[in-house]
A = this chain, B = another copy of it.
Amino acid sequence: MPAITESPRIAVHGLGAMGLEIVRILHRRGADIVAGIVRPGSGKDGRDLGELAGVTGLALPARGDAGRALRETRPDIVVVAVSTYLDETQYEIFSTAIRSGANVITLAEEMLHPFATDNPLARDLDALARRHRVTVTGTGHQDAYWVNLIGVLAGSTHDLGSVTGRLSWNVDDFGRAVAEQQQVDSTTGEFTRRQAAAERPPTFGHYSLHALAEVLGLTPDGAVETAAEPVIARRDTPCGALGTTVARGRLLGRTDIDTLRTAQGVTLSISSQGSVYGDGESDFNEWRLADTSGKPTLHLRNSELDTAHTTCATLVNRIPDVIAARPGIVTVAELPQLRHRPF
């Protein structure tokens, strides 16, 4: 929580598809981008940030020496768009930013609610951020569509029994790594065998459900229960991410269903289908609330979503909130209401 400046100094760590879209949005808003950071020795190290993002008037070399770059440019906040989980590599990126005195805002999905598992790195990171009096927050598409829109919706009802989300996103928007994670082009046999294997990392839904419980004022009761279903191709379907065609009967992807029970008796669940789309399919989020007797009460649907854009725009709109927040890890359930920042 350094002094809030009218135009904060911003560094962007990670210049993949998401990081560069964030650079473009910031640049169009006239934001003060002071550094772009990449993995040391990456092919982008030393290249011009404006050229990488495809914008003019942004002449900065992408840098591989994060610590030195941050000490020299002294950003108020570092945007981190590198990977999903709070592992040792991600911890190192965050802690370098924190030690330079900068706040951190990230798309790392685990950071939406890093206390949702007993990851010891979350406690260490929280302590480090408090010591340096800066804030660390995970945001992105989930902030609005899986957490805070539903929080506001639930504020319009009296008797809350369950909250059920059904979400769909296109694997082809996210590239090969995500396509493989979603088991695209696998057989149902391969799907079943992987389900039987013990070790699977938590889904995005796992973290979102904990953030949703927090925004609803509910206390998680027990671990998130998981289930999954295959999404099977009814006809041969091209997959851009893998550069192949998925034959009828093989997997277009999978649906992960996470359920979190709460001490207040309210059940929260998210069913997230990540698959290759056929013609006419598009992203949507759909949420249904029911009362304690199971009767449906409220319904909200977002369709025709450009998830990649909402992910990046939400992060940009959250920057002032994170700079103003208390030190430590602060979830999007604790931040003020998400809002558009006119430019």
- Interface size of A by CB at 8 A reads 51
Pick the interface stretch among A96-104, A196-204, A303-311.
A303-311
A266–B342 CB distance below 8 A: yes
Is the pair B264, A342 in contact by a Cβ cutoff of 8 Å? yes
State whether A336 and B337 are in contact (beta carbons under 8 Å apart), knowing that A149-B152, A152-B144 are contacts in the complex. yes
Chain B residues, Cβ within 8 Å of A337: 148, 151-152, 155, 215, 336-337
B302 and A160 contact, CB distance less than 8 A: no
Chain B residues whose CB sits within 8 angstroms of the CB of A342 once the complex forms: 160, 216-218, 264, 266
Most buried by B among A266, A298, A316: A298
Give the oligomeric copy count. Answer: 2
Q: Which of B25, B151, B314 contacts A340 (CB 8 A)?
A: B151
Q: Are B339 and A215 in contact (CB under 8 A)?
A: yes
State whether A340 touches B141 (Cβ < 8 A).
no
- CB < 8 Å: which of B25, B154, B310 contacts A339? B154
Shortest beta-carbon distance from A232 to chain B in Å? 28
- Determine whether the beta carbon of A156 is less than 8 Å from that of B317: yes
**Interface bits A132-150 vs B (CB < 8 Å: 1, else 0):** 0000000001011100110
Which residues of A line the B interface, CB within 8 A?
A: 25, 28-29, 141, 143-145, 148-149, 151-160, 215-218, 264, 266, 296-306, 309-310, 312-314, 316-318, 336-342
- 9 intermolecular pairs with C-beta atoms under 8 Å apart: A143-B156, A151-B337, A155-B317, A155-B339, A156-B313, A157-B310, A157-B313, A217-B340, A264-B342
